[in-house]
Amino acid sequence: MNQTFTRLGVMLRHALHSKRKDATQHLKKLRTSKFIYTAILCCKVLVFGVLIQGISAQQLLAQTTQNVSLKGTVVDDADGRGIPGITISDSNRKVYGTTNENGAFSVTVPKGTVLNFSMIGYTTIVRTINESQTGLNIRIKESSSSLNEVVITTALGIKRSERALGYATTTLDSNAFTDAVASNWTDALSGKVAGLNLVRNGGPAGSNKIILRGENNLTGDNEALIVIDGVVASSSARRTSATGGGAYGTSGDIMPADFGSALNDLNPDDIESVTTLKGPAASALYGQRGANGAIVITTKSANKNRKRLGITFTSNTSWEEVGRGPDIQQEYGAGLDGVAYFSHNASADGASTRSTSASWGPSFAAGGMFFQYDPATKTQGTMRTPWVAYANPIDGFFKTGIETSNSVSLDGTVKNVGLRFSASHGNNEWIVPNTGLERTSVSLSANAKLTKKLNLVLKAAYNNRHSDNLPATGYGNQSLMYWFMFAQPNVNIDWYRDYWVPGQEQRKFVDITTSNPESPYAISYEYINAQRRNGVLGSLQATYNFTKELSLMVRSSIDYNHDTRETRRPYDASGLRYTQGSFREQNINSYEINADFLLRYNKSLTKDLQLTATAGGSQMRNRYHKAELRADGLAVPGIYRLDNNLNPLISVPDTARYNINSFYGVASLAYKNYLYLDLTARQDWNSTLASPLRTDNVGFFYPSASLSFIASDFWKLPKQISYLKLRGSIAQVGSGATTPYLTAYNYILAANGIYPGPAMTNPSVLPNLNLKPLSTITYEVGAELRLFKSRLNFDFAAYTGSTKNQILSRVIDRSSGYNIAVFNAGRVDNKGLEMSVNATLLQSKSFKWTMNGTFTANRNKVKELADSAVVLRSGPLSTSGGQIMAVVGGSLGDIYGFGLQRSPDGQIVFDATTGLARENASDLKYFGNAMPKFRFSFGTAVTVDKFTASVLFDAQFGGVGHSLTFTRMASLGKLKLTLPGRYNGLIGEGVVQNADGSYSPNTTVATDIEGYYDSLYGSRQLEGSIFRTDYLKFREANISYAFSKRLVSSLGLSKMTLGVYGRNLFIWSPWPAFDPEFGTLAGSDIVQGFETGQLPSTRTYGVRLVVGIN
């Protein structure tokens, strides 16, 4: 066996590295005719071949006659800084060494060797060495290649050469976030990272949930871990108030508003780079919370090489407006059953018809005159007035939002201390009147080399967010979108502006139509969700280098947020709970403290084999504490204070806490700068798995291995191939989730303690006393290929994995006595493909044309489950049977519900008497999956002299969703879709069932047109309101101009750029509401599948100015 490998290795060496002429010719032949074959063979013998080759290289070395030694430094031509990691090799790609962290090198080579000093991103320097030298100073220039992401920050803040990584990562630099600035900077990740998916909730503070590589988990934690300068910022991700009701808020409780996560507050101008660690192999070192990948954000620090103070000022202004919306009809007004007249309250024309939200009333084209609402008297007008349609709610109510942000940064180095300071202020006035927010942030970064051996880094950021009002989301009396769905075309939206009944200000609202949906202006100005948040994100890191090989880093960090939220509801608040108003105040303190250490040992084992061993440990404490006081019922209307309570104050505390302790280690082996092996191991202990009775299964261990092979440095590949890297990894990750208290049965306070005693109740969520950690195992292979001097670059990744024991909550039959049960799901397999490409199509001195694109596909399959089917979530309309259900053989995210009755050949069955479509409300039908199957993006940029223009498109396909906005609006006759058949009836396209059970074409005229559309699109079945969530979005456009150096310096400046940009300019989609990319607030989560009164998504235009003052 061993012999065979040795022989293979020797063959390989001979074939590829012999200096003999015939061998070279042989190699040429191989390249031309058998290249592919060889590649496959080489892959197979890769590991062994490489080892053997190491030995043979030493043998070769021994054969040379005269050696010369060489010492020196490689520095960056631009700033004179030493560059680590430069490869020193000869023309046969034999590697003699690399530069150390200061750029210094020391090699011994045969006399007369032609040495290459090379590194990706730099132009290779070639020197012929004929004598020993010391103090050689080699200046190396950055190559013009766009791929300069050589050193990237990986898990735990460890900086690694990109080529050494055996797993997929994507790094975006600051331009990705600042060229076309988004209100929430995470929006700018869209379309730029293969495998990344954002689940969005709308609104000015709208938060995003970042999901990497598809959701293999629906109800548990499935978000990527967010790390800002080594500080895990996930604790601040609790984004909603969840102060009372849910997004389907017809119970009348206070509806949730999205208060945004602290992540939104990061100033995009402070971002240096964002690295996405996609798979578990990449994030295994982050432990259980890295199981869903990680987003590693590095903020800017002082530019070490700048001798003078640098000041940069940026200013940004953008405008936003509703992008697209439902297709609203403007031809018929309020009324039921095709009624021919309208009357606001009873009149000479007949009984009142105003108390309806439906629009099946008289046609505007008929030009009638009716007794309508008179805004002057706020009741029925004394005269009949013309029956006309006013502006639809999209045009009539929403305004143009404006957002401004300004930031300034200073940086420089004073003695040994590098400092960067930045301050920014932003103000957003959203498209809904009286909503928006204000942000202020200050950040400081300091880097001090205290002694030769001790280095200190301090990063601190303070964020303040202030909002007088944020819009409540969802479907319910207090929500704006509820009004939107019910808005009548015959009502002028301006009539809503004066919403108090005269003489009853602060006590009673005018009802222009029904009393259900409140005036949108009343909601904006009286139903207040206010917020003040102060957050501190800080870390202090000390690195001590004991020797050249051994260093120790200790770090401690904190993410602390104090959030004060207020909800105010006026007297007569629509919805039933707050006829006497309400005032609620929440005080939320949350923090996460991390303390960790890393011991690094770096040693060259042999001349070719470099070992870096890292061992570390960390302790994490996460705490969340909410104190909420409620004055539901106010003594004096309009006074929002806790001491204005009519009833006893109610206290609703909430808390969550968990600890994770960990030890971990990495061994990285680098062989000759073309073969890299990483082995990691981590053990976590998570308190969420402990119960008051036991701690025996709180710990879990997981290893990973990854291999990177730079094929282009191993073989001499055709010159068109500039770089070829192959990588592979296996990783296992465990997780105990981050929701505490799921392991013990606890009675809870009944009705917030209003009963004497205070009385208690059994929980509605059934805990799991034997909760186990989940475990995911993933296999990944990938390749990175750069062609034509890195002008055409591909990155490819394929992965497959399986997750066992996911911690999920399932909806259970209430006859079990509980609503929801926490359980460990069986096994879910997940696989996917990711590809990205970027190309420089044309390049000359003053012209450059580039293109880039990504492609992602992801699938998951439920392999094992405790029961045949598990309901993970119920949709908002229980009449329609809508639910997300997991079944063995299906996928997570499968949507089921009641369908329409269909004949065997798939036609809709209509009722022979009424002509209405029939629903099948006894069998649940599968309608598709909430998660798209494919995503792709395409972008291109052109630079002409000082101008740069770029565009980005992205698309998703293969997912479906249920639209509540659509089903409601269609049933109420609000959509253009419901115009045919009014007055005359309509014959539905389909069949009727005959008495003998056979089917014949439908010929029955449906005269109940309201019933007809309700039967097709209403809430008795899900089918009529399921739509594909496919889209193609014109995501970004940007034009910027860099002023000429001469002009700039004549103004005393160092740089000046001006840009105009647009975001989300167009959406092409079959989605019937606003945005197919929707998420619905559910507790502190954002969920997919069921759109529940989404807020409009917006189109943004902006102007941006960047000025550098040296």
Partner 1 sequence: MKKIRNINRYTFLLAVGVSLASCKKDFQEVNTDPIGVNAVSADKLLAPALTNVLNANVIRNRNFNNELMQVTVDLGEAEGRIFRYDVRRNFADYTWNTWFVELTNFRDINTIASQEGSVNTSYQAISKIAEAWTFQLLTDTYGDVPYTQANQGKAGILEPVYDKQKDIYLSLLTKLEEANTLLTAGQAIVPSSDPVYQGDVTKWRRLGNSLYLRLLLRIAGKADVNAQVVAKMKEMIDTNPSKYPIMENNTHTAKILWNGTNSSTALYSSPYMISVRAVDFRGPGISEFFMNNLSTWADPRINQAYGRNNVNRWGIAPGPGGYVGVPSGYPIGGSPVKQAYFYSEGQSGSPLSLQTDPYTGIIMNVAEVDFILAEAASRGWINGTGEAYYYKGVADAINYWIPSLFTNGNDAAVRSYALAGDFDWDNTFPLDNATVGSSSKLQLIHLQKYYAMFLVDFQQWFEYRRTGHPFLPKGSGLTNGGRMPARLNYPTVSISTNATNYKNVVASQGPDDINTLVWWQRP
- Footprint (CB under 8 A) of partner 1, residues 6-45: none
CB of 332 to partner 1, least distance (A): 16
Binding of residue 381 to partner 1 (CB under 8 A): no
Part of the chain binding partner 1 (CB under 8 A), chosen from 174-182, 364-372, 627-635, 1098-1106: 627-635
**Residues between 651 and 670 that touch partner 1 (CB under 8 A):** 653-655, 657-659, 661, 663
Q: What mask of x and - would describe binding to partner 1 in positions 483 to 512, judged by CB under 8 A?
A: ----------------------------x-
Q: What mask of x and - would describe binding to partner 1 in positions 128 to 147, judged by CB under 8 A?
A: --------------------
Binding of residue 440 to partner 1 (CB under 8 A): no
Q: What mask of x and - would describe binding to partner 1 in positions 759 to 778, judged by CB under 8 A?
A: xxxxxx-x------------
Binding of residue 601 to partner 1 (CB under 8 A): no
> Are 96 and 34 spatial neighbours (Cβ–Cβ below 8 Å)?
no
CB of 1081 to partner 1, least distance (A): 22
CB of 504 to partner 1, least distance (A): 11
CB of 750 to partner 1, least distance (A): 4
Binding of residue 701 to partner 1 (CB under 8 A): no
Tell me which DSSP letter residue 810 carries: E
Token output for 728: 């592979």
CB of 604 to partner 1, least distance (A): 24
Map tokens 């006595």 to a residue. 817
* Cβ density class 614-629: b for 16+ within 10 Å, e for less: bebbbebbbbbebebb
Among 75, 271, 523, 698, binds partner 1 (CB under 8 A): 698
Binding of residue 1044 to partner 1 (CB under 8 A): no
The residues, any chain, with a CB within 8 Å of residue 277's CB and separated by 6 or more, are 154, 155, 167, 169, 283, 286, 290, 293, 294, 295, 296
Binding of residue 636 to partner 1 (CB under 8 A): no
CB of 336 to partner 1, least distance (A): 6
Among 748, 841, 1047, 1051, binds partner 1 (CB under 8 A): 748
**Residues between 227 and 256 that touch partner 1 (CB under 8 A):** 251-252
CB of 970 to partner 1, least distance (A): 14
- Which CB sits closer to partner 1, 194 or 877? 877
SS3 assignment for 343-370: ECCCECCECCCCCCCCECCCECCCCCEE
> Are 82 and 73 spatial neighbours (Cβ–Cβ below 8 Å)?
yes
Binding of residue 754 to partner 1 (CB under 8 A): yes
CB of 591 to partner 1, least distance (A): 15
State how far the Cα of 991 lies from the Cα of 909, in Å rounded to an integer.
Answer: 5
State how far the Cα of 1024 lies from the Cα of 813, in Å rounded to an integer.
Answer: 26
> Would you call 845 exposed, middle or buried from its count of C-beta atoms within 10 A (0-12, 13-18, 19+)?
exposed
State how far the Cα of 542 lies from the Cα of 556, in Å rounded to an integer.
Answer: 9
- Neighbouring CB atoms inside 10 A of 696's CB total 9
Nearest to 405 by CA among 586, 267, 299, 574: 267
Tell me which DSSP letter residue 100 carries: -
**Residues between 840 and 869 that touch partner 1 (CB under 8 A):** 867-869
- Which CB sits closer to partner 1, 659 or 824? 659
- Which CB sits closer to partner 1, 898 or 1078? 898
Q: How many residues bind partner 1 (CB under 8 A)?
A: 101
Binding of residue 575 to partner 1 (CB under 8 A): yes
Q: H-helix or E-strand containing 668?
A: strand 654-671
Tell me which DSSP letter residue 10 carries: H
- Beta strands at 133-140 and 67-76: parallel, antiparallel or unpaired: parallel
How wide is the angle at C-alpha 662 spanned by C-alphas 658 and 664, nearest 5°?
Answer: 155
CB of 158 to partner 1, least distance (A): 22
Token output for 800: 């497959």
Q: What mask of x and - would describe binding to partner 1 in positions 977 to 1016, judged by CB under 8 A?
A: -------------------------------x--------
Among 313, 364, 741, 957, binds partner 1 (CB under 8 A): 741
Among 24, 102, 451, 695, binds partner 1 (CB under 8 A): 695
**Residues between 902 and 931 that touch partner 1 (CB under 8 A):** 921-922, 924
State how far the Cα of 494 lies from the Cα of 252, in Å rounded to an integer.
Answer: 26
- Which CB sits closer to partner 1, 195 or 517? 517
**Residues between 602 and 621 that touch partner 1 (CB under 8 A):** 617
SS3 assignment for 181-202: CCCCHHHHHCCCCCCEEEEECC
- Which CB sits closer to partner 1, 439 or 569? 569
State how far the Cα of 36 lies from the Cα of 32, in Å rounded to an integer.
Answer: 9
Q: What mask of x and - would describe binding to partner 1 in positions 862 to 901, judged by CB under 8 A?
A: -----xxxxx--x--xxx-x-x-x----------x-x---
State how far the Cα of 717 lies from the Cα of 125, in Å rounded to an integer.
Answer: 20
State how far the Cα of 1014 lies from the Cα of 993, in Å rounded to an integer.
Answer: 20
**Residues between 337 and 366 that touch partner 1 (CB under 8 A):** 337, 351, 355-358
- Which CB sits closer to partner 1, 688 or 793? 688
- Which CB sits closer to partner 1, 382 or 816? 816
Beta bridge partners of 446: 419, 458
Among 503, 757, 904, 1052, binds partner 1 (CB under 8 A): 757
Nearest to 830 by CA among 289, 155, 212, 290: 212
**Residues between 276 and 335 that touch partner 1 (CB under 8 A):** none
State how far the Cα of 593 lies from the Cα of 557, in Å rounded to an integer.
Answer: 6
